[in-house]
Amino acid sequence: MIERALGIEGWMSPEELAWLAEQARTHTQIAEIGSWRGRSTAALADNTPGTVFAIDTWEGSKETDFDPGFQAGGAEWLWQEFLRNRADNVIPVIGASIAAAADFAAKGETFDMIFIDGAHDAESVAADLAAWRPLLAPGGLFCGHDFWPNPGWPEAPLSDVRRVVDSTLSVHIGAGSIWVANGGINHLLPCAILVPSLDRPQRLRDLVANIHATTPEEHFILFCVSDDESKTILDELEEWYIDDSDCEDRRYVTRMNKLVKWLDDAKTMFFGSDDVIHHQGWLGQALKVMSVGWDVVAVNDMHNMAGTQAVMRRSYLPQAVFDAPGLAFHPDYGHNFADNEQFFTAQRHNQFMRARDAVVEHKHPIYREPDGAAWDSTYEGATRTWDEDEARWKIRHAMIEATIP
């Protein structure tokens, strides 16, 4: 139903309005960034069973100042035009896009559909993507307008939209010039679950059974082990592993980076461990978050709010360590704080997000749980490098801030 929308002046084509209407029918909490006179807003509002939040300054811009109505009546005319066209289920949010996103985030609000059609210069598009993506509910629809340049707009830098969107997201075209972030997860599979297990053969059978039982998505496990008992068990289970028994350097970061180099077909990788319990559907939940454009997604370990383990797109590896392209972790850490650097670097690249519903429960003895892992020589070895690792992280934190804007 787009009859009312077609009667409102604007630049959205009938094909694009029909697409918005179709999507709105299955979404109930919609944010529209950039509403102008309300043409696209009407297509959304008249078809959703829920609410449309229309975010705009209604003050015009260099891209819209040439509109005859706006030239004659200014911002007050534009605001009255929008109010005249507004449906009862539309809530106007007056203000800049980034400030509005911050307000919604502070309230814990999320949306199951976000449509971005604000300012079209590269800086504004990038800022909108960064501000609004975190507000998308898992499995939600993230989309926007003006992917293709419109020669009818005088001096409007619309080509910037495609350049920024293409460099940030994996997208397809919904209709006309509407881009849509790929919401499925098949293009992120298979996922390689990487486990550097050091002298803990007694944990392997339960770990393998747990991963396969809770991970219906296409995946494979790749271990790095050195002791004979672990190799024997993994052979029996027909699981893949790297034998590094001839390597004296058995630090976590060394073994993880070694595992990464062995990957061929994996589209994504999870930096796992042998002291966790994967909850049902953990990978699917993480990939749902990743599917709207994030490259590094931290899972919920039930203890550390910042997270300690993550799923990463393989294509992100050249950026993962700013001064060692192709590695997943900086090689100088003993064990601790390597994940801090990985996450912070992704944040600086605007490619980091957490998946609250992707639960991989950490059983480290430091949490003192009745069913937690027992203290052993592997934990002891990691603890010995804590102070050195922390000092290195402080230095590298400053380096990353200075290097990645």
Q: Residue 174 belongs to what domain range?
A: 3-181
Average of per-residue pLDDT values in the chain: 90
Q: pTM for this one?
A: 0.69
Mean pLDDT in residue range 215-237: 96
289 and 212 inside one domain: yes
Rounded distance between C-alpha atoms, residue 287 and residue 180, angstroms: 17
Choosing from 129, 162, 181, the residue where a domain stops is 181
278, pLDDT greater than 90: yes
Residue pLDDT, tens place only, 283-335: 999 998 888 888 999 999 999 888 899 999 999 999 999 999 999 999 999 98
Mean pLDDT in residue range 13-41: 95
Structure tokens at 305: 């709010």
pLDDT for the residue 155:
44
147 and 193 inside one domain: no
192 and 169 inside one domain: no
242, pLDDT greater than 50: yes
122 and 241 inside one domain: no
Distance of CA 7 to the CA centre of its chain: 38
User: Higher-confidence residue: 18 or 375?
Assistant: 18
314 and 222 inside one domain: yes
pLDDT for the residue 63:
60
User: Higher-confidence residue: 368 or 301?
Assistant: 301
192, pLDDT greater than 60: yes
pLDDT for the residue 279:
97
Residues 116/54, Cβ–Cβ less than 8 Å: no
Question: How far is CA 372 from each of CA 140, 337, 365, rounded to the nearest angstrom?
Answer: 35, 22, 6
Strand, helix or coil for residue 317: helix
pLDDT for the residue 69:
62
Strands 136-144, 111-116: parallel, antiparallel or unpaired by DSSP? parallel
Residue 225, CA atoms < 13 Å, CB-side half-sphere: 24
Q: Is 264 exposed, middle or buried (0-12, 13-18, 19+ CB in 10 A)?
A: exposed
Choosing from 158, 181, 204, the residue where a domain stops is 181
pLDDT for the residue 153:
45
55 and 79 inside one domain: yes
Percent of the chain with pLDDT over 70: 94
User: Higher-confidence residue: 139 or 173?
Assistant: 173
Q: How many domains does the chain have?
A: 2
**Domain holding 52: CATH number?**
3.40.50.150
144 and 219 inside one domain: no
Question: How far is CA 224 from each of CA 38, 210, 252, 330, rounded to the nearest angstrom?
Answer: 57, 18, 10, 18
174 and 201 inside one domain: no
pLDDT for the residue 241:
97
Rounded distance between C-alpha atoms, residue 190 and residue 184, angstroms: 13
98 and 176 inside one domain: yes
Bridge partners of 359? 300
Sheet holding 29-33, edge to edge: 90-94, 51-56, 29-33, 111-116, 136-144, 178-181, 171-175
Helix (H) or strand (E) holding 204: helix 204-214
Strand, helix or coil for residue 151: coil
pLDDT for the residue 158:
47
Angle in degrees, CA 375, 327, 349, rounded to 5: 105
172 and 206 inside one domain: no
Q: Give the closest residue to 333 by CA, choosing from 379, 367, 382.
A: 382
132, pLDDT greater than 90: yes
220 and 342 inside one domain: yes
**Hey, CA dihedral for 345, 348, 349, 351, is it positive or negative?**
positive
159, pLDDT greater than 80: no
Choosing from 134, 165, 181, the residue where a domain stops is 181
150 and 229 inside one domain: no
93, pLDDT greater than 70: yes
**Domain holding 203: CATH number?**
3.90.550.10
138, pLDDT greater than 90: no
Mean pLDDT in residue range 254-279: 94
Return the minimum-mean-pLDDT range out of 13-27, 173-187, 382-396.
173-187
Structure tokens at 377: 């020589």
pLDDT for the residue 190:
93
Mean pLDDT in residue range 383-404: 96
178, pLDDT greater than 50: yes
